[in-house]
Chains A and B, each alone.
Chain A
Amino acid sequence: MERHILVVFPHPDDEAFGVAGTILSYTSAGTPVTYICLTLGEMGRNMGRPLFADRETLPEIRKKELLEACKLLGIKDLRPFGMRDKMIEFTDQQLLIQRLYNTIIEIKPSLIITFYPGYAVHPDHDATGAAVIQAVKRLPVEEQPVVHAVAFSEGCEAVIGEPDIIIDIKEFADKKLKVIEAHQSQTAGMIEAMKEHYENGDEEVKERLTKERFWTYPIEE
């Protein structure tokens, strides 16, 4: 059993699509989860349906959505890092690595969940994963937590192989939908279709809501 989970993602809603069921499986078993969310998704393109956000109001709206998602997920320790959407790869990398390292030292997670650097599509995702790996590498080998990485770039399996961790989240599927729905400004356009497809037994949607896939990151290589 895990002692403490650290989740590190750059955007509010990253935790919803790929890992909400997994987080729920941990929090419902009583394992504490700390979530470092680097930005507030300030540069998101979705502005709500009908339109209710603009470039300047979006951060505050997404912050509220993130708080609601954390409540649903049972995350009691949310740590927004106050960085800017799209700019993760361009900011002081050593400073980011240091901040992540400090948090790891403080909470001593047994498992870290983040993006698989190089295979996570969005440059912020890749940069986040890369910084987390660098922070973990600063620890002596015997103190390094396991890292479960999320990858979804086209054809990633051909390079990094099949995911070695597949978590059955069937019992949390409905709650995962609610977490996705909590990010209203970003998901209002697709949540209804997603629900409908799920109820109609659409294989792809069913797969997304009942299974989550991770790669154990090879820190030593």
Chain B
Amino acid sequence: MKPIDPQMAQKTLSDLKGKQLYVHLETTNGAYASHRNQSFLSAGTFIRNVQLTFLNGTIKGHGPYRIGMETELGYVYAEGLTDWKINKKGQVLFAGHDKDGKLAIAFQLSETPFPK
């Protein structure tokens, strides 16, 4: 992955507008966070291969970046995004990595389902 280029990322998002996409969205602070610090509330989520089509998708911020989308019935939002890549399958992968390089958030869009 490479640091996000917001202009390129915006162009990529605009190209995906109106298409039927599969989304992987995830946040995590690691399964061991509460083990190391008992008072820490470990919260995280992931959803993989949800189908959606967005009406507007915009990247904002000065890094880390935010991406917000409006869909027919609702919204998608992700913050803390630092890196991105478009892989060989044409899937658009955004991720947020902390200072140790650990993944904190992943937000991925694809026209074909991600492997289960």
Contact = CB atoms under 8 A, between A and B. Distances in A.
Interface of A: 43-51, 54-57, 59, 84, 86, 121-124, 153-154, 189
Size category, B interface: 20 to 34
Contact of B26 (A46, A55, A59, A121): A55
A45 B108 contact: no
A122 B31 contact: yes
Interface of A, secondary structure class, is loop
Contacts of A43: 26, 28, 46
B114 A86 contact: no
B7 to A, nearest CB: 21
A47 B31 contact: no
A86 B46 contact: yes
B85 A47 contact: no
Contact of B24 (A51, A55, A59): A55
Contacts of A45: 28, 30, 102-104
Contact of B83 (A49, A51, A59): A51
Given A56-B93, A86-B46, A51 B35 contact: no
B5 to A, nearest CB: 16
Contacts of A56: 87, 91, 93, 108, 114-115
Nearest to B38: A154
A46 B31 contact: no
